[in-house]
Structure 1
């Protein structure tokens, strides 16, 4: 189904860098990432969590390296990870050097707490020598002292100035394989800083509302902040920062991209909030369907509507649909066309079966197309 012109998002032009084998910027798919919360020194536990995050769809995973034991473990982590690893470096520049040598695909440094310019230069050298890209990560909560004195408080101008100052250090060393982020826990500050940065540089931008909170409020804040920026065409990679399991960050990230038509993964379930007209328990049904369809990564749409007021119209726009028609049965739709009546009691099992069949059909067609192109 083609995207209507009024839905088109014109993405900001940016340079292309690579994080391992993942392209970032210059029109590449917006990458979704999360971060481990295990003890990095425990390589086994960290790799197990990375596997779960990658299975949820992550393109990149960030791993904190607070001490030497962590960077020692990074050798095994980077070797066996199914996705590129970004080493998160704070305070001690030596950890960045060690992480680069251990195989990290990217080094994330916070200019406000890594120290003197000379130390940044050593990290740049390590990144260059080991084929790493970098991320300049400015955080509203850890701006440099001289910027806080200059502006009086964290503000968009201070965050952009911090980012550009440190970008200049990398550029002066003829190092251009980097992206930039300017995160804050305040949505307004975050959005304003990214708009200012987007106007000031063509470097790829990593988006996030940092320390957004628990699952519910964090999802809301991230959706508002990231959604508005992405709608404006700003952003090349995203992380939804939640006090929740990392896999949930990936799911929310893809849901944000899916809602804007920027990237699709898995089943987009379109469902009504339910009312007295519903012919079946919409809320419980959707809960069951989302749980049982979580393993489907193939992009497709499924509408589940409780009655005939909006059901047929929604079903016309989705791959598979079900519209409630009464207390016992409703109508199933395939490709937007009424196909057969379906008993409410059989609905969940049958819809799961139909989605799995459709996914297999789509994947087979993709494989045949790829084989024909070889």
Structure 2
């Protein structure tokens, strides 16, 4: 069976610089961030003493471009990396794909490997509720490879190659057996007894597209009657640049099964609820992991932070999730609520039995024109 590996290719407008990426994601492993590597091909006669530089910039847009008036701006751009591409690297430091590309393209091919600072924010987009916006809200990354005499020069579009890249996190490889669980209780004024609500989840980490199993047990020792049960999956978003926090319900269901739960009765049931992008499009403030127009977009993954640090220390847009259950006792009785956090993430590719990047035999390389991709919006595709 032929082992084929996809490599992303893009050329500069003048055709003098062509870059090949083996992957487009900076993967955050909490303890370290994996680099993005590849090969850039430039004719030595075109260089004429100049050098090839690699630059990574992050744009942090926290307001709509159409609201920018009188010199007011709602974005910040930071240059995280700007360094020359080393022409000589030890072959042992190169990936299998880089070695294969160098063999194919010869002396005009130069390998590169780019690392991001550990504090760099994850790529997250916020739905502006407007399909016509040209500048999406959120955190976007741009990798640029260009030719110049020194890195302080402003890159020219004609001899540079731009890629839209992302910084992403995956679920930890270590499988935890922890099952989130909470118990809440409420008493009522001028009424004896208490209403008890037990909420549990089957696991701590769910993958995108998986159904969430909310295990609910109600014990009514009060004099009130439970008329309905509401289950919600809530996305919590914190925009650190402007210290703004807001919540969005990304999935919900209301049930009257077992209701009314009268005084002295109890009720147990496992409710199944699935948060999906398809039911949340064109809703302002929903956080995604890519641009909403992309076909493979998902809800933003939960933001993981290193052990010993809090989410307040993270930069960019911090995303978390929780399941909220509400017992409605009518207009006079009010509600009893239980909230239980969980993580929503992609499975770690390293957990696959035969990861592509660890394969020692690459029989075929398939090149895909990067400009044709609709993955995540960036000025790189201008």
Report the TM range for the smaller structure's normalisation.
under 0.3
Highest Rg: 1 or 2? 2
Superposition TM-score, scaled by structure 2 size: 0.22
- TM-score, normalised to structure 1, is 0.22
Higher percent of residues as strand: 2
Higher RCO (Cα < 8 Å, 6 or more apart)? 2
